[in-house]
Amino acid sequence: GWPTPAQGPGPYGAGPGGPAPGGPGRPGPGAGAPQGPPYGGGAPGRPPYGAAPGEPEYFGGQPDPYANNPGHTQQFSVPDPYGQDPYGQDPYGQDPYGDGSTYAAGNTPPPPSGPRLRWKDLLRGIVTRPGATFMQMRDYPMWGPALIVTFLYGLLAVFGLDQARDEAINTTISSAIPYVIMTGVAVVIAGLILGSVTHTLARQFGGDGTWAPTVGLAMLIMSLTDAPRLFFAMFMGGTASLVQIIGWLTWIAAGYLFTSMVSRSHDLPWPKALGASAIQLLALLALIKLGTL
């Protein structure tokens, strides 16, 4: 006659209203292994107990379709130690705040535009195609041709100046040879110093070229551009009108070649390249072109 009370939940792992499967005293198949959702989980479609909407998954929240879930991982790239962007999407390089050059700030300098030229092609290229030659040799030192050509030019430069030529001719051979050799060495040292000054000024103006190619090309330009004036000066004297005219023309040509060389070797616009070459041009004009050495 008494009403049967509602049966509460049974033991852990047992169904409602009855003992655990297997009888009293023996654990059922569900003992020790929960059959429900894992810890922190909840019923599908709603957050578990104590978890508010919008919390991360590891706090029990639901997966955010816009978070870094499987299938929604954001793309990223490991920085290249050589400064190259593997995806080619960043026009400013991977380090836009790093040290850079005038035009390619933050980017690595371009690779050489061609193989190293042989000395014959180098000398011919400076006269016939200077722009392409300077661009191709901007990363290659050329000490052999630069030192030899400048030294030979210094040996002959003695005979292009009136007073120096008279002193060398009127002395004995034993005295003239050391005099001529010392002049050649002095011209080489002067070329090294003037080329270094040009390189230093180019770097101060924002250039990115290297020292050895800049100095080597500067020495070759100095020697090759003065060769026509020196040829006529050896026979006509350095003060002859024709020699002076040729000297001015070759000085202008040297200014063009110096500007072109610095512009391509250091990636500078031509006004800055001309400014970097100004001291060397003035020194050549005063020491050699005008015959005041």
Residue 283 lies in a domain: yes
**Beta-carbon neighbour count of residue 218 at 10 Å?**
28
Spatial separation of the C-alpha atoms in residues 110 and 113, rounded to whole Å: 8
Residue whose structure tokens are 């040996």: 155
Residue 132 lies in a domain: no
Residue 109 lies in a domain: no
Contact 154, 186 (CB under 8 A): yes
pLDDT one digit per residue (tens) for the chain, 293 residues:
455 554 545 544 444 544 444 445 455 444 444 555 454 444 455 555 555 555 555 555 555 555 555 555 555 555 555 555 545 454 444 444 444 444 443 445 556 667 889 999 999 999 999 999 999 999 999 999 999 999 999 999 888 877 777 777 787 888 888 888 998 999 999 999 999 999 999 999 999 999 999 999 999 999 999 999 999 988 888 788 898 899 999 999 999 999 999 999 999 999 999 999 999 999 988 887 765 44
Residue 135 lies in a domain: no
- The token pair that represents 74 in the structure block: 């954001």
Stretch (H or E) spanning 181: helix 173-204
Residue 73 lies in a domain: no
Domain count, the chain: 1
Residue 50 lies in a domain: no
Spatial separation of the C-alpha atoms in residues 68 and 78, rounded to whole Å: 18
Query: Domain range holding 170?
Result: 142-289
- The token pair that represents 244 in the structure block: 């002076």
User: Is 27 buried (19+), middle (13-18) or exposed (0-12) by CB count in 10 A?
Assistant: middle
102: left (phi over 0), alpha (psi -120 to 50) or beta: alpha
Spatial separation of the C-alpha atoms in residues 234 and 160, rounded to whole Å: 5
